[in-house]
């Protein structure tokens, strides 16, 4: 009797023991890897003309991985970033495979050697502080929804929080007495404490006073009293951006999402002269390289660097003497 193929067992241990147990991956990462492998296995099963349940480890070849990546771009119209994310999940599974079964080292090494496709880094969209001020003036704080909108927008700009981090904040994680701060749960289960401006505290107190006193409740709620969703936050931002764009034409050309508020916070910190390592910790970035992209996109900082370089080089603009016509100009031209 033929022994059952270990593929299913390895997939199960990859998710339960390795991702969740060993790495402590977040729920978001687990779901992203699940979706990638589900797409990959379905593609291989179709290529082999059999069901996913009948797949074997020998079916997972480097040629099929390459065909799958091409399929993502050519058929599913996925971008390079999505293609690379799918490849990351597949390579993580093959690393687990080679640990579990070293005899398959050659098969795994070929897959692990596949490089990610290079892609041009997109320009970061952000709002200048003057633009944020106009945006924050749009909500009508006399109304409960307007007070919530103003508090949310100010909170995003103050903390640079990802929208998921902001919407997950609960009342017990806010400290609205000195020292003002909030406990944020970041990506990869990396928590951080972020200070709050007095204005942000006042805005949060205003909406707290209108919430029922139930410990553990989310801070940002919908009109129905339910936790605000990402779509709801995007709608709030878009609504007030339309009002701000009527006052400030420069906003009409910008596509502003909740994540742009995070970018705007980072750029404002850079413009204030804050060190990159401090901004990295403030935003919860993994490395300084991630934070460094803001220096490449901020034109104002580039101008300052150029001016400082100009002064340091000791170069001074020279003024050309003003040209005056000679009295004997016509005579001079005649003699030529």
Looking at residue 310, what is its pLDDT? 67
Instruction: Identify whether 327 is part of a domain.
Output: no
Find the range with the poorest average confidence among 25-34, 71-80, 117-126, 194-203: 117-126
Mean pLDDT (the chain, rounded): 88
pLDDT above 90 for 38: yes
Same domain (yes/no): 82, 49: yes
Per-residue pLDDT band for 249 (boundaries 50, 70, 90) equals very high
Same domain (yes/no): 146, 216: yes
Instruction: Identify whether 26 is part of a domain.
Output: yes
Which of these three, 112, 137, 162, is where a domain ends?
112
Find the range with the poorest average confidence among 180-184, 191-195, 308-312, 329-333: 329-333
Same domain (yes/no): 173, 300: yes
Looking at residue 1, what is its pLDDT? 46
Which of these three, 83, 112, 141, is where a domain ends?
112
Arithmetic mean of pLDDT, 309-336: 63
Cα–chain center distance at 271: 20
Arithmetic mean of pLDDT, 242-261: 95
Angle at 230 between CA 16 and CA 145, to 5 degrees: 140
Identify the CATH number of the domain in which residue 252 sits.
Answer: 1.10.443.10
Give the model confidence (pLDDT) of 182-198 as tens digits: 999 988 778 999 999 99
Instruction: Identify whether 25 is part of a domain.
Output: yes
Same domain (yes/no): 200, 290: yes
Same domain (yes/no): 92, 238: no
Percent of the chain whose predicted confidence (pLDDT) is above 90? 69
Identify the CATH number of the domain in which residue 68 sits.
Answer: 1.10.150
Looking at residue 180, what is its pLDDT? 97
Find the range with the poorest average confidence among 2-16, 27-41, 88-102, 204-218: 204-218
Same domain (yes/no): 87, 226: no
pLDDT above 60 for 318: no
How many whole angstroms separate alpha carbon 170 and alpha carbon 29? 23
Top-confidence residue, 162 or 326: 162
Instruction: Identify whether 315 is part of a domain.
Output: no
Same domain (yes/no): 108, 195: no
Looking at residue 167, what is its pLDDT? 96
Domain that holds residue 270: 129-309
Looking at residue 235, what is its pLDDT? 97
Same domain (yes/no): 48, 141: no
Same domain (yes/no): 134, 86: no
Same domain (yes/no): 183, 145: yes
Arithmetic mean of pLDDT, 254-263: 95
Tokens representing residue 109 in the block: 């090494």
Arithmetic mean of pLDDT, 119-143: 91
Per-residue pLDDT band for 330 (boundaries 50, 70, 90) equals low
Looking at residue 124, what is its pLDDT? 85
Instruction: Identify whether 228 is part of a domain.
Output: yes
Give the model confidence (pLDDT) of 84-127 as tens digits: 999 999 999 999 999 999 999 999 999 999 999 988 767 789 99
Same domain (yes/no): 103, 134: no
How many whole angstroms separate alpha carbon 253 and alpha carbon 241? 11
Active site residue ranges: 162, 187, 259, 262, 285, 294
Angle at 67 between CA 65 and CA 71, to 5 degrees: 115
Arithmetic mean of pLDDT, 41-46: 97
Which of these three, 78, 112, 146, is where a domain ends?
112
Looking at residue 311, what is its pLDDT? 72
How many whole angstroms separate alpha carbon 120 and alpha carbon 65? 23
How many whole angstroms separate alpha carbon 190 and alpha carbon 69? 31
Same domain (yes/no): 94, 167: no
Burial of 168: CB neighbours in 10 Å, binned 0-12, 13-18, 19+:
middle
Q: Which residues contact 291 (CB under 8 A, 6 or more apart)?
A: 266, 276, 279, 280, 283, 285
Looking at residue 328, what is its pLDDT? 66
Say how many domains are in the chain: 2
Instruction: Identify whether 324 is part of a domain.
Output: no
Instruction: Identify whether 1 is part of a domain.
Output: no
Instruction: Identify whether 334 is part of a domain.
Output: no
Per-residue pLDDT band for 300 (boundaries 50, 70, 90) equals low
pLDDT above 70 for 240: yes
């Amino acid at each position: 009797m033929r022994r059952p193929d270990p593929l299913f067992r390895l997939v199960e241990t990859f998710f339960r023991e390795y991702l969740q147990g060993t790495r402590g991956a977040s729920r978001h990462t687990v779901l992203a890897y699940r979706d990638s492998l589900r797409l990959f296995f379905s593609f291989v099963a179709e290529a082999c003309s059999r069901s996913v349940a009948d797949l074997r480890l020998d079916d997972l070849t480097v040629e099929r991985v390459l065909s799958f990546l091409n399929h993502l771009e050519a058929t599913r119209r996925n971008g390079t970033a999505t293609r690379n994310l799918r490849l990351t999940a597949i390579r993580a599974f093959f690393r687990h495979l080679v640990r579990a079964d070293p005899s398959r080292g050659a098969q795994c090494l070929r897959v692990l050697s596949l490089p990610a496709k290079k892609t041009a880094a997109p320009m970061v969209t952000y709002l200048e502080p003057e633009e944020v001020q106009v945006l924050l003036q749009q909500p009508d704080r006399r109304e409960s929804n307007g007070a919530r909108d103003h508090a949310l927008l100010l909170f995003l700009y103050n903390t640079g929080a990802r929208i998921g981090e902001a919407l997950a904040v609960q009342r017990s994680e806010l400290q609205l007495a000195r020292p003002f701060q909030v406990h944020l749960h970041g990506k990869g289960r990396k928590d951080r404490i972020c200070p709050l401006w007095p204005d942000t505290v006042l805005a949060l107190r205003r909406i707290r006073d209108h919430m029922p006193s139930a410990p553990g409740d989310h801070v940002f709620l919908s009109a129905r009293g339910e936790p605000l969703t990402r779509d709801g936050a995007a709608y709030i931002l878009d609504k007030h951006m339309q009002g701000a764009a009527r006052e400030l034409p420069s906003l009409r050309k910008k596509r502003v999402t909740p994540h742009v508020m995070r970018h705007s916070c980072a750029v404002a910190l850079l413009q204030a002269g804050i060190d990159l390592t401090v901004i990295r910790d403030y935003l919860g970035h993994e490395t300084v390289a991630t934070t460094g992209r803001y220096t490449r996109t901020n034109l104002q900082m580039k101008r300052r660097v150029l001016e400082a370089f100009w002064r340091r080089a000791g170069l001074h603009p020279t003024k050309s003497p003003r040209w005056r016509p000679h009295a004997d100009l016509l005579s001079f031209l005649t003699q030529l």
